[in-house]
Structure 1
Amino acid sequence: MSSSLKRKAAFDDEGPDNNYPRKLPAISENNQPLRPSKTAPNVPSRIQTRRGPPLTIPKAPALATTTARRVTRATSAPPKSEPVRPPVRPTPGTRAPINRVASGSRTATGGPRLRGAGDDRFQALQDQVTSIESARAVDAARLAADMESERAKLSELQANHNALSRELAVAKSQEMNQRQELSNASDELEQMKRRHANELMDLEMDMKKKERMIRELKDDLRMCQSDLERERETVTTLKSTISHQSTTQLTLSTQVTALRAQLSALQATLDVTSNSGTQLQMQLETERRRVAELEQETRQAETIRRKLHNMVQELKGNIRVFCRVRPILPSELPPVGMVTSTSSAGGSSSKPASPTPEDEEKLREAAKAEITYPDKMDHKEIVLRSSSESATGQERKDEWAFNFDRVFEPNSTQSEVFEEISQLAQSCTDGYNVCVFAYGQTGSGKSFTMEGGSTESNAGMIPRAVEQVFRVSDELKSKGWIYKMEGQFLEIYNETINDLLGKGEFDKKKHEIKHDKSGRTTVTDVNIIPLTSANQVRSLLALAQSRRTVASTLMNERSSRSHSVFTLRILGENAMTGESCEGSLNLVDLAGSERLEKSGAGNDKDRLKETQSINKSLSALGDVIAALGEKGEGKGDKHIPYRNSKLTYLLQNSLSGNSKTLMVLNLSPLAYHLNESLCSLRFATKVNNTTIGTAKKQIKNPS
């Protein structure tokens, strides 16, 4: 095939004119050159390298003219045809004749053609055409000869092609056989590889198993070696222990001998002690009988103590009044002067100057009212003095003296105040109703007296009274008394009762006050918390105080705008004597009385309403006290207006003859508040002169 391609290339290169058609050799399907097969290496190389002689391609003769050539297929001699005369070109500037002249010597009318210059030119052209036709005949003859030679070559090529096709078929069959053999060999090779891989995998698994067994054996060997070392150490230790025990055994043997001697001596002592024990047992029985008799006497003495304690409290009066004057606060002192300070930015500011101790003492003397305490022994008298100038220019001096059950000066501590109240707390555990309420103008220290501060030394009357009750109840357990305690904390704000220990919002429930025949006061829909310790009461008081209604006024930055009433109910039983009692302790922090022009409450609608409600309830309290005083003087069956306010109705049983009542009057020491202090002192005197009867012990109902 490569030889035929080379002959074709040579044929294309020969001759100057390549416009003649060439007869190409017959091309079969497998006319591509054979490539050596990888799968058939045994194919004869002669198929791939065989080459024939180069084919010669005849050249076409060159024509003298440049006119177009008509190519015809040379099968035999070229057909003869008459020469074609070229058309006569008209001379420039002349017009060609319309009728063409036919070949021959005659015209279109049959007459003889005239000869002239045009006939000569035509003759010349005709001769030229004749020469061209003869040249074409020669070329056609030569082309026929070339075609014959090409046919001979084509036959030879076809013969070569057939031979090559036969050799190719043989080569293909050989290649197919070799491919089959190669495929079989490949399958056998894959099977051998798989067998080899399986055998290799089995060997690797066996090797891993052996390595694992080796590791396990090594671990076992290390464990055995460590066990052996431990056993060796144990043996060494045991040997040393045995040696030590041998020495110890000798020592113990000596000690046993000595102990036996001591045992003999102790046995003799035991006999003596047994005799003494018998005597002590007899003495113990005698002492137990004596203890039982003393306990019986103690219980009887406790009953007598309760009666005597109640008698002492009645002798002091079932309604008592204490007066307490608070000290002057640093914030109430007027400023000494203004000090101008210059800042780093260049500005200046003024601030109050810090007073010296001498200046501060002078300011205190100037700001406080003239209050004296003449009774230095019993502390029961307080005297207020005031000097003023009349319209005529004369100096007028006024003096007011008041007597109460106890007067506490500004330097009195919370513990000193509670010492006088502690006996009333004792009466609660004896089954009496006790009411302690703080009265005074706003900012006079009522909340501090009742609730106290954050420190233990500043604790108020409420937490101290609760601790006293729990302490007494614990002491009475040895005498057979078991107490149960429960508490509630209420607020009276604008004649509405709020539960300070409740879970809901205020004014969502309507609370009603009810009094039963046994003298017990209850309020509907309030939370009554069982109390187990004084610390629990402290946390409840803190919660209640955080919910209490307070507001700022001109006289107090944190003025209580409501009355708060903490009630501690005590239930006691004595299984030994069969006694039972039920008492209650009402600790009341009243809202402060105030004047609208001084407190500035008239400018605020809410503060005005609160002030009017507070003054109304305090006025109702004064009316109840006055009515009780008139009734105590024997003026007949005087009506007591308890229902005029929620405060007096709630404290009805505490203000009647069935309870012991203590009012703590709180006064401001400032001269600015002198008129308010005088009003409070006069009201307290009226209360102190009131007799409400004899307190009765509350017996717990069997139910």
Structure 2
Amino acid sequence: MSRLPRLRSSSPAGLAADSGPSMPTRMTNSSLKRKAAIEEEDEALDQPRKLPAIGTSNRPTRPLQPSKTASNLTSSRGAPVPRPLTRPKAPAITKTTRGTSAPPTSSRPPSRTGTTARPTAGRVVSGSGPARPTPGGRASDDKRFNALQSQLTSIEEARAADAARLAADMEAERNKVAELQANHRALSMELAAAKSQELNQRRELVHASDEIENLKKKHNREVMDLEMDIKKRDREIREVNEDLRICRSDLERERDTVTSLKNTIAHQSTAHLTLTTQNNALEAQNTALQSQLDIYSRKVSDLTLELEAAQKQVEDMKKEAMESELVRRKLHNMVQELKGNIRVFCRVRPVLPSDLTTYGSSLSSSGSANSGSEGSVDFEKAKEELQANFVFPDTRDHKEIVVASSSSSATGQERKEVYNFGFDRVFEPESTQAEVFEEISQLAQSCIDGYNVCIFAYGQTGSGKSFTMEGGPTESSSGMIPRAVEQVFRVADQMKAKGWQYTMEGQFLEIYNETINDLLGKAEFDKKKHEIKHDPKTGATRVTDVEVVRLTSPSQVRNLLSVAQSRRSVAATLMNERSSRSHSVFTLRIMGVNVGIDGCVGTGEKCEGSLNLVDLAGSERLNVSFANGADKERVRETQNINRSLSALGDVIAALGEKGEKGGDKHIPYRNSKLTYLLQNSLSGNSKTLMVLNLSPLAAHLQESITSLRFATKVNNTTIGTAKKQSRIS
């Protein structure tokens, strides 16, 4: 293993070129750095010289120190800078083979590194492998060894020449330092003349002083680099001697390797016989494994048959699940029809702290006197005094509400009256939003199954309709609209496992003064004329020129509800500080198709359902809400609200008469935009629920009794059977 190529590549920069010692020596690494620094400084000298600024204070001017890198610049008198030295080329070392011969006759002094080269008989310098010794090989080895010694001597001479050249460079550097000192004196004179210049010139002088300091530092670094290069050359010479020693040791090691390889061949012959025996044993083992493989193949065939049977069973179970879903829909619809296609819930809200502020003047002297001193105890007393006499006798089914009132007759005697009302469900003031929605959730399921569902809140102003339908800001206080939407999305995700895929879209309308406004539209109100269109074949209701939004998540619906709530028309009345002055109708349309489950072909059945969630405006009397009649706009709104609610009552009454007597009685749907929009929800094509909201205050007792009577009329009304909107594609 020869190391002579490495000797050539790691030779110091002072090696002589192939052309002989007369060729110029090669430039050292520090000379290359110095040349790069000269080029950078030449570029810097092309820029205008900046003089340090002279301060306005009495600070003494610090004289500029001569830069150690002045040799890299041109002198102020235009003296040329000496060109950097070139690196001498190393002599080419030829690979020769040394044979065994007598010791050389001429003796040379040992090299400076202390390594004495001794010829070794039969050694080969090149890395081409060992050569057989010849009778005349000894003489050639001596010649090659002498050539190596002459090359090493030339290396040392080149190194001494570099040292002399480096001393000359240092002398040139000192001369240039002297020139820089002369330049420094000239600059000092310029500084004395520049004291009258402006502030920006002083800053330029400071910058020039910093540049000179940087040049000094750079010059110090270059001197250190030169010293490091000298040390590096010494280290490289030691490495060359070490490489020569390693080459000789490698040659000895290779000879030992040849001997060991011969011994290895002998051992391999024995190992070959052993491997032949092992191969015969492995062939016998392979035969045994092949028999086991045949057994496993038969087991795989049996398992494949079992897998096919299991897959067939899974497909049968998927078909059974799809059929059971159809049966569930029929049974669910039967249960809803048994409950009635039009149902009425009654909900009484609790007494609020804001009621004390509004009706505090009607409290007794003892209650009002202590209203601000004892906190919650006084609130409970005031609550009992303000609250009307509502009783809920049905503690099991919660379907009855009893209202007791007292009045004075013409003769001054007190007359007490008791009214008993029954509905499908009565919610006491302590009932939560979750309890109310639990009764409504089944109707949301019917909407998924392809039926039209309508839920509307009815009641006087301030009875809690908007809170019931839209709810509050917290999760526990969310209303029927966001809860119904969340359940629809949740059930739609569950139905995917039964082969159904659903798409949903929604719209939000407002009926204000018998005018339809699009709460989700981008244009201003009253700019478009919206018309109501009914499809007698499908039972669907559409409104022209309204924004229909594709719905993908319940959070998107909550954002739409907040946008619509901010646009809805509200105003303050004597009964409610923020009263809804319009009817709002949120419509959620659901389109589903049965596409099958995981390769199981679906039935192709399609269903379309809609969920109408209506928050009616508050019913109220003009003499109560606007006693003085000063606000004509609010009076006009109240008249339109009462007129539309009256039209709703007329439609309910006409439906009741038609259900009792039969015949073709006319139903006045067109008397109001509200009743015409809800025509399909009230005519029997929909499952309808009215939530009656009551105020618990005694001041609103007459309004509450009127609302209870209207709700009783609705509850006693019989309409047709809801029709499922489905078809087979």
Give runs of aligned pairs for residues 68-83 of structure 1, distance below 5 A: none
Which of 498, 510, 529 is equivalent to 2:549?
529
Per the alignment, residue 607 of structure 1 pairs with 634
The answer on whether the counterparts of 1:337 and 1:353 sit within 8 Å (CA) in structure 2 is: no
Deviates more, 1:554-563 or 1:279-288: 279-288
Which of 351, 361, 369 is equivalent to 1:328?
351
Q: String of CA shifts for 1:449-501, please: whole Å, max 9, x gaps.
A: 00000011111000000011111110111111111100000000011111100
Report the Cα offset of residue 361 of structure 1: 2.2
Which of 512, 533, 536 is equivalent to 2:531?
512
Whether 2:601 is the aligned partner of 1:574: answer no
Which whole-Å CA distance do the structure 2 matches of 1:678 and 1:635 have between them? 30
Whether 2:370 is the aligned partner of 1:362: answer no
Which of 487, 509, 518 is equivalent to 2:506?
487
The one-letter code matched in structure 2 to 1:625 is: I
Per the alignment, residue 42 of structure 2 pairs with none
Which of 671, 687, 693 is equivalent to 2:698?
671
Whether 2:320 is the aligned partner of 1:300: answer no
Report the Cα offset of residue 359 of structure 1: 2.9
Which of 556, 569, 575 is equivalent to 2:576?
556
Percent of aligned pairs with the same amino acid: 67
Q: What secondary structure sits across from 2:545 in the alignment? A: coil
Q: String of CA shifts for 1:120-173, please: whole Å, max 9, x gaps.
A: xxxxxxxxxxxxxxxxxxxxxxxxxxxxxxxxxxxxxxxxxxxxxxxxxxxxxx
Report the Cα offset of residue 375 of structure 1: 1.1
The one-letter code matched in structure 1 to 2:407 is: S
Which whole-Å CA distance do the structure 2 matches of 1:644 and 1:537 have between them? 32
Which whole-Å CA distance do the structure 1 matches of 2:324 and 2:702 have between them? 50
Report the Cα offset of residue 202 of structure 1: 2.7
Report the Cα offset of residue 560 of structure 1: 0.2
Whether 2:80 is the aligned partner of 1:201: answer yes
Report the Cα offset of residue 280 of structure 1: 4.9
Which whole-Å CA distance do the structure 2 matches of 1:694 and 1:222 have between them? 107
Whether 2:450 is the aligned partner of 1:431: answer yes
Which whole-Å CA distance do the structure 1 matches of 2:231 and 2:693 have between them? 91
Q: String of CA shifts for 1:352-401, please: whole Å, max 9, x gaps.
A: 61434443222222111111111111111111011233233433210101
Per the alignment, residue 645 of structure 1 pairs with 672
Cα gap change, 1:197 to 1:541, in 2 (>3 Å): closer
Report the Cα offset of residue 421 of structure 1: 0.6
The one-letter code matched in structure 2 to 1:639 is: H
Which whole-Å CA distance do the structure 2 matches of 1:540 and 1:196 have between them? 82
The answer on whether the counterparts of 1:519 and 1:653 sit within 8 Å (CA) in structure 2 is: yes
Cα gap change, 1:373 to 1:219, in 2 (>3 Å): farther
The answer on whether the counterparts of 1:571 and 1:700 sit within 8 Å (CA) in structure 2 is: no
Which whole-Å CA distance do the structure 1 matches of 2:294 and 2:456 have between them? 70
Q: What secondary structure sits across from 1:660 in the alignment? A: strand
Whether 2:585 is the aligned partner of 1:565: answer yes
Cα gap change, 1:269 to 1:364, in 2 (>3 Å): farther
Whether 2:716 is the aligned partner of 1:689: answer yes
Report the Cα offset of residue 284 of structure 1: 3.4
Which of 584, 599, 617 is equivalent to 2:610?
584
Q: What secondary structure sits across from 1:539 in the alignment? A: helix
Q: What secondary structure sits across from 1:431 in the alignment? A: coil
Which whole-Å CA distance do the structure 2 matches of 1:204 and 1:220 have between them? 20
Cα gap change, 1:354 to 1:220, in 2 (>3 Å): farther
Which of 561, 566, 581 is equivalent to 1:546?
566
The one-letter code matched in structure 2 to 1:398 is: E
The one-letter code matched in structure 2 to 1:470 is: F
The one-letter code matched in structure 2 to 1:493 is: Y
The one-letter code matched in structure 1 to 2:625 is: S
The answer on whether the counterparts of 2:465 and 2:615 sit within 8 Å (CA) in structure 1 is: yes
The answer on whether the counterparts of 2:371 and 2:379 sit within 8 Å (CA) in structure 1 is: no
Cα gap change, 1:318 to 1:218, in 2 (>3 Å): farther
Which of 400, 407, 415 is equivalent to 1:396?
415
Q: Which runs of 5+ in 2 are unaligned?
A: 1-73, 86-168, 174-218, 240-281, 596-601
Cα gap change, 1:202 to 1:541, in 2 (>3 Å): same
Q: Which runs of 5+ in 1 are unaligned?
A: 1-194, 230-259, 340-349
The answer on whether the counterparts of 1:443 and 1:592 sit within 8 Å (CA) in structure 2 is: yes
Q: What secondary structure sits across from 1:360 in the alignment? A: helix
Which whole-Å CA distance do the structure 1 matches of 2:534 and 2:635 have between them? 32
Whether 2:404 is the aligned partner of 1:385: answer yes
Which whole-Å CA distance do the structure 1 matches of 2:452 and 2:718 have between them? 16
Report the Cα offset of residue 214 of structure 1: 7.1
The one-letter code matched in structure 1 to 2:660 is: E
Per the alignment, residue 623 of structure 2 pairs with 597
Which of 512, 515, 518 is equivalent to 1:499?
518
* CA RMSD between the two structures: 3.5
Which whole-Å CA distance do the structure 2 matches of 1:494 and 1:379 have between them? 37
Which whole-Å CA distance do the structure 2 matches of 1:203 and 1:302 have between them? 100
Whether 2:392 is the aligned partner of 1:373: answer yes
Which whole-Å CA distance do the structure 2 matches of 1:509 and 1:398 have between them? 51
Which whole-Å CA distance do the structure 1 matches of 2:727 and 2:562 have between them? 31
Per the alignment, residue 97 of structure 1 pairs with none
Cα gap change, 1:409 to 1:337, in 2 (>3 Å): closer
The answer on whether the counterparts of 1:319 and 1:688 sit within 8 Å (CA) in structure 2 is: yes
Which whole-Å CA distance do the structure 2 matches of 1:490 and 1:481 have between them? 29
Q: What secondary structure sits across from 1:514 in the alignment? A: strand
Per the alignment, residue 135 of structure 1 pairs with none
Per the alignment, residue 271 of structure 2 pairs with none
Whether 2:495 is the aligned partner of 1:467: answer no
The answer on whether the counterparts of 1:452 and 1:459 sit within 8 Å (CA) in structure 2 is: yes
Instruction: Give the TM-score, by structure 2 length.
Output: 0.59
Whether 2:412 is the aligned partner of 1:422: answer no
The one-letter code matched in structure 2 to 1:473 is: A
Q: What secondary structure sits across from 2:81 in the alignment? A: helix
Which whole-Å CA distance do the structure 2 matches of 1:617 and 1:223 have between them? 104
Cα gap change, 1:273 to 1:676, in 2 (>3 Å): farther
Q: String of CA shifts for 1:259-279, please: whole Å, max 9, x gaps.
A: x9xx99xx9999998877665
Which whole-Å CA distance do the structure 2 matches of 1:217 and 1:645 have between them? 104
The answer on whether the counterparts of 1:451 and 1:461 sit within 8 Å (CA) in structure 2 is: yes
Report the Cα offset of residue 288 of structure 1: 2.2
Per the alignment, residue 471 of structure 2 pairs with 452
Cα gap change, 1:620 to 1:219, in 2 (>3 Å): farther
Report the Cα offset of residue 578 of structure 1: 1.1
Cα gap change, 1:286 to 1:667, in 2 (>3 Å): same
Q: String of CA shifts for 1:655-678, please: whole Å, max 9, x gaps.
A: 111111000000011111110001
Which of 413, 416, 441 is equivalent to 2:432?
413
Cα gap change, 1:412 to 1:222, in 2 (>3 Å): farther
Which whole-Å CA distance do the structure 2 matches of 1:408 and 1:696 have between them? 29
Deviates more, 1:462-471 or 1:290-299: 290-299
Deviates more, 1:269-278 or 1:393-402: 269-278
- Structure with greater Cα Rg: 1
Cα gap change, 1:213 to 1:551, in 2 (>3 Å): same
Aligned residues: 464
Q: String of CA shifts for 1:194-219, please: whole Å, max 9, x gaps.
A: x9977722349887999898787778
Cα gap change, 1:392 to 1:534, in 2 (>3 Å): same
Which whole-Å CA distance do the structure 1 matches of 2:419 and 2:293 have between them? 83
